[in-house]
Amino acid sequence: MPSPHGLAAQPMSRNPAATLRRSLASAFCALLLGLSCGSARADLMVFAATSLTDVLPQLAQAYAAQGGEPVKFAFASSSILARQIEGGAQADVFVSADLEWLEYLDQRGLIEPQSLVTLAGNSLVLVAPADSLLSAAVLNAQTPLDQWLGSGRLAVGDPAHVPAGRYAQTALSRLGLWSLVANRLAPADSVRTALMYVATGEAPLGIVYATDLKAAPGVKQIATFPPASYPPIVYPAAAVHGRSSRAVWQWLVFLKSPAAAKIWQTAGFQRP
């Protein structure tokens, strides 16, 4: 599939590390080339993972302050948004909470591969209601996670399709804790829904991204999952096939700019 800028589109790598390397090299160069191509549109529609609900509007405000076009957002689980795009939803840019759902669209010819950029990283934490008697702890193979749950359930994004849930399942499996909780999950349609289950006391424990803690004052962090227990949490973005324009390229370039980096950092996100 040729790219809108005359660059030969390459299939996305099955190897996440290779994909990230390409995003930092050829893809960003393609973004810079894109600034001279296409025509501007009044509004951009960005489909983005729920965990970006707070930071992306801040970035859009900063973008508008420097003369950028207005940006509108639709937030939901990456899986839901990817399937909506597959179904014909009119999105200009897709920002996923993992590489898998971008690859899902790439395999169907629904994104512009040369536009791929990796925006930010995150980490995985175990949380409890603010009034929980549990205190800070270390997660390892000896952690009595089932005892901590008592008669309750563990709130997580549904591992079947929510990226946060997939990361959580992998982390628990590598730590040898999955068998303790596999039948005691409160699966949610997004990581923010899992956070809400904990904040409202419906679940005594939950697994969310570290950046989500700012969205729920009624939740406290109990532990951080060891980075080696799950794959790197990254937020890749790409233009949707057929929706490329000067405005799209400028927005993607801004999201990788030094000004944007400060906003990502203030919001708690990590460098990818």
SS3 state at 33: helix
Q: Which domain holds residue 29?
A: 16-121+234-266
**pLDDT band at residue 148 under the 50/70/90 scheme:** very high
Ranges 116-125, 169-178, 242-251: which has the least confidence: 242-251
Q: Provide the pLDDT for residue 131.
A: 95
Are 166 and 36 part of one and the same domain? no
Is residue 238 in some structural domain?
A: yes
Are 132 and 217 part of one and the same domain? yes
CA 160/CA 168 separation, integer angstroms? 11
**Buried-exposed string 169-195: b where 16+ CB fall within 10 A, e elsewhere:** bbbbeebebbebbeeebbbbbbbbbbb
CA 91/CA 217 separation, integer angstroms? 32
Is pTM beyond 0.85? Reply is: no
Is residue 272 in some structural domain?
A: no
Q: In terms of C-beta density within 10 A (0-12 exposed, 13-18 middle, 19 or more buried), how is residue 117 classed?
A: buried
Are 241 and 110 part of one and the same domain? yes
Q: What is the pLDDT of residues 71-90, one digit of tens each?
A: 999 999 999 999 999 999 99
With beta carbons less than 8 A apart as the criterion, state whether 92 and 85 touch.
Answer: no
Is residue 69 in some structural domain?
A: yes
Are 33 and 58 part of one and the same domain? yes
Is residue 271 in some structural domain?
A: no
Is residue 5 in some structural domain?
A: no
Average pLDDT over residues 165-169: 98
Are 34 and 155 part of one and the same domain? no
Is residue 4 in some structural domain?
A: no
Higher pLDDT, 8 or 128: 128
CA 234/CA 177 separation, integer angstroms? 24
CA distances from 234 to 117, 119, 127, 201, 209 (A): 10, 7, 21, 29, 11
Are 117 and 20 part of one and the same domain? yes
With beta carbons less than 8 A apart as the criterion, state whether 5 and 30 touch.
Answer: yes
For residue 136, give both structure tokens: 């800070």
CATH number reported for the structural domain that contains residue 242 in this entry: 3.40.190.10
With beta carbons less than 8 A apart as the criterion, state whether 191 and 164 touch.
Answer: yes
With beta carbons less than 8 A apart as the criterion, state whether 235 and 86 touch.
Answer: no
Identify the CA nearest to 52 among candidates 224, 272, 271, 268: 268
Average pLDDT over residues 236-263: 95
Are 117 and 26 part of one and the same domain? yes
Identify the CA nearest to 237 among candidates 144, 122, 119: 119
**pLDDT band at residue 42 under the 50/70/90 scheme:** low
Are 117 and 132 part of one and the same domain? no
For residue 86, give both structure tokens: 């597959």
Q: Provide the pLDDT for residue 27.
A: 45
**pLDDT band at residue 204 under the 50/70/90 scheme:** very high
Q: Provide the pLDDT for residue 3.
A: 34
Is residue 163 in some structural domain?
A: yes
The percentage of residues in the chain with a pLDDT greater than 70, rounded to a whole number, is 85
Rg for the chain, CA atoms, rounded? 19
Is residue 78 in some structural domain?
A: yes
Are 38 and 161 part of one and the same domain? no
Its sign, for the CA torsion 80, 8, 235, 153, is positive
Are 52 and 132 part of one and the same domain? no
Domain tally, the chain: 2
Are 114 and 243 part of one and the same domain? yes
Are 172 and 152 part of one and the same domain? yes
